Structure 1
Amino acid sequence: MAETTTLAAVLPHMLPACPHARIALFAIRRMGAHGLADARATHTLFTMFGQDFRRPLVLMRALMADLASHASGQIAIAPCCCARMTVAEAALITILAQLEIAPQKARFLMVDLLGIRHVDGVLASAAAVGAAFADEGRPISY
């Protein structure tokens, strides 16, 4: 008997209610699918942060580069238009949202996401992204 894959199995998580987390997710999806220099991701962060867009943009690019270079396998991302999240996306948004308040939880999630034991550098990149959003009055929550 053939097993069918449902949408809920592939994309088990709802989008975050926080608009700042949704913007971060959009940037992650665009950069993950179209490269670090994606114009739509840049425009979205420019629109959200105004003249202070450079810090969140550069740090998001650095995080995406760190994730790509350290992951032991593929990190599943959904298309930008998807109204649900993959397990990996939910883990990444949770990391960004809770790194400051629950660092051990964030570490476990990052270890699981990347499939490696030493994740300090990537966690530092994630902390910098979270701080950049929070410093501009747009903290990521999930």
Structure 2
Amino acid sequence: MPVESADELEEILASETIAVVGCSRTPGKAAHDVPKYLLDHGYDVIPVNPHADEIFGRQAADSLAAVEDEIDVVCVFRPSEEVAGIVDAALARDDVDVIWTQQGIRDDQAAARAEAEGRRVVQNRCMKVQHRRLVA
């Protein structure tokens, strides 16, 4: 069952390193503004975008597999149809504790697979909105 309680969301928001799959270089897009907000609020944001060399002055990884740092949370800004493959990539790593899909993005089967592997899942929620509501 995906995470919904405020206490559990707050616990997840205490994580440090967030890999943002689908992070955008374009200001004004949620996939840019939300990770920028998280970066500005002290998170270590790792942009994952195969079409960018760098975002926010940070090197962008081509994929989750290419990220050398440890990842606490994978934040997904890709269409729902791509979530299953992103979950597979996250499950291939031992360090990912949480998979978080942004507002409007969900894949219940992929979420169930991640939960069966011991990962926590947040679906269809904006990380920035939840941070403002519970932490800021």
- TM-score, scaled relative to structure 1: 0.27
Specify which structure has the bigger relative contact order, considering alpha-carbon pairs within 8 angstroms and separated by 6 or more residues.
1
- TM-score, scaled relative to structure 2: 0.28
Structure whose residues are more often strand by fraction: 2
